[in-house]
Structure 1
Amino acid sequence: MAKVTEPQTQKATGASRVYTILRDEILTMKLAPGTALDEIGLSERFDLSRSPIREALVRLSADGLVSILPNRSTIVSQMDFRRIPEFLDALDLLQRVTTRLAALHRSPLELADIRTAQKAYEKAIANCVKTGTSQAMIEKNYDFHMAIAKAGHNVYFADLYRRLLEEGRRMLHLHFEFQTLDEHMTAEEIGRDHTQIVDAIEARDADLAEELAHRHAAQFKGRFMQFLDRNITASMTLTYPQAQP
C-alpha cells in the first residue's frame, strides 16, 4: 500500500509547492501579466515532472491567475485596466451588503473570529510598513473580509465577494505598494477603517456598518485610480506633429 500512495503524496506535495510559489509571484507581480509559463521550463526550475507542474497550473487557472490558451500554452492572466471601474463598483456593492448582513446576523463566535482576523491584519500591516512587502497584508485583508462575509450568513453573497477579492489581489498589491510610499502613512492609519467596521458590527449597527464599508471601498477606489493616473499615464510617450513654419 505504501508503495502506491507515496508517489501520489510526493506529487501532491510538489504540485502544492509549485502552486504556492507561482501564486505568490503572480500576486506580487514578479510574474507580470502576459508572462508565458512553459511546463518544461517550470519542470527544470522546480526539479519535478510535468505532471505536478500541470496540476499546479490548473489550480492557478481555477483561481483566475493564469490563462490556458487554445494552443495549450499557459500565460499569467492579463489585467484589463479598462474594466477596473466596473470591478471597483462591484466590490463596493458586495462589501456593503456583506458587512451590513454581518452586523445583523453575526454570532458571538463569528464576532470573535472577525476580531482575530482584524488583529492578524494589523500585525501584517506593521510588518508591511517595516519591510515594504505587502503579500502577508493582502492575505490577512482577504481573511478579514471573508470572516465578515461568513458572518453575514448568505453563501451567495459570500461566494461572489470571495471571487471579487480573489480577482483583485494583484490590484491590492499595487494599491498597498503605492499606499506605503507615503512616508506619513502609519500602520494605525491604514488599519483604522477595519477597526471602525468591526466596532459597528459588534454594536449591530447595520446602517453604520454599511456606510463604513462603502467609505472603505470608495477610499480604495480613489487611491487606486490615483495610482493608475500617476503610474500608467506616466509611462506613456506623447508625440505631437511638428509645428508648420
Structure 2
Amino acid sequence: MPSDLSQSAQAYLRLEEEIVTLRLKPGEAVTEVGLTKRTGLGRTPIREAIQRLSWEGLLSIRPRLGIIVAEMNPSDFLKVLEARHGLERLVAGLAARLASKDDRRTLEACAEDMREAAARSDVEDYLRHDKAFDDVVSEAACNPFATKALAPLQTQSRRFWYRHFGEADLNPAAWSHLEVMRAVANGNEHAASEHADNLMLYLRRQATSLVSGPR
C-alpha cells in the first residue's frame, strides 16, 4: 500500500479488501475497536472508513446491533451489473479520450500485472490490480459524478466475483479486462467503450449462471 496515502485512505483500502476477499465474512458483526486493532490504524481513520463503506453498501450500521458486514445474495450481482453497465461504457470512453501520458503508462503496467496474476491463478492479487486499474480510469475520465456512482458497484462486483468465481480460470476475465485497458491506453475512445460493453456482457453471463443453476 503506498506510504503517501492518508490514514483514512489506508483504512478504507485495508477494510475494503478484507470485505471483498471475505476475511470479514458476510453477516459478521464488527466494532470500531476491533477494526482498529485489526488494521493497526487509529480510531478516526477507521471511523471515516466505516462511514464510507456503509455508504457503499459493504457495511451496515444498525442501532443497538452495531456494525454488520453486508450479506450477499447471488441475485444482487445481476442488479449491480445492470447499474454498472452504462457507466463503464461512459467512463472507459472518457478515459481513452482524456487520459494523460502517465495514466496510459500506468494502465499498461496494470494490464501486465493483471495478466501475470491470472497466469498464477492469484485471485487476490488479480483483484488488487483490477481495483488499481479502476482507480486510474476513474481519475483519467475527469467526471467525478459518474465515477463516484461507479466505484461502489465495482467493489460489489469484485466481492461477488471472489465469492462465486474465485477458483475459476481467471484468464477469460483477464482477457476481457486487458482489451479495455489497452484501448484506453491507446486513446481509442470507441474501442474502449465497446470493450467495456463486452466486459459487462461477460460478467452478466457469469452472474446469470448464479441464479439459473447450482454452483
TM-score, normalising length: structure 2: 0.74
| Paired letter, 1:123 | D
Tell me the equivalent position of 2:104: 114
SS in 1 for 2:30: coil
Give how far 1:53 is off.
9.4
Q: Give % identity.
A: 23
Tell me the equivalent position of 1:222: 205
Alignment partner of 1:102 is 2:92: no
1:1-245 correspondence runs (5 A) = 22-38=15-31, 42=34, 46=38, 51=43, 55=47, 57-58=50-51, 60-103=53-96, 105-107=97-99, 109=100, 111-130=101-120, 132-174=121-163, 177-178=166-167, 181-182=168-169, 186=171, 190-201=173-184, 204-227=187-210, 229=212, 233-234=214-215
How many residue pairs end up in the alignment?
Answer: 209
RMSD of Structure 2 on Structure 1 (CA)? 3.6
| Paired letter, 2:141 | G
SS in 1 for 2:166: helix
Q: Is the 8 A contact 1:26 1:32 kept in 2?
A: yes
- Which of the two has higher C-alpha Rg? 1
Query: Would the alpha carbon gap of residues 169 and 16 (structure 1) be closer, same or farther in structure 2, given more than 3 Å must change?
Result: same
Give how far 1:65 is off.
2.1
Aligned equivalents of 2:136, 2:12: Cα separation in 1: 24
Aligned equivalents of 2:37, 2:62: Cα separation in 1: 22
Q: Is the 8 A contact 2:77 2:207 kept in 1?
A: no
| Paired letter, 1:70 | P
For structure 2, the 5+ residue unaligned runs are 1-5
* Structure with higher RCO (Cα < 8 A, 6+ apart): 2
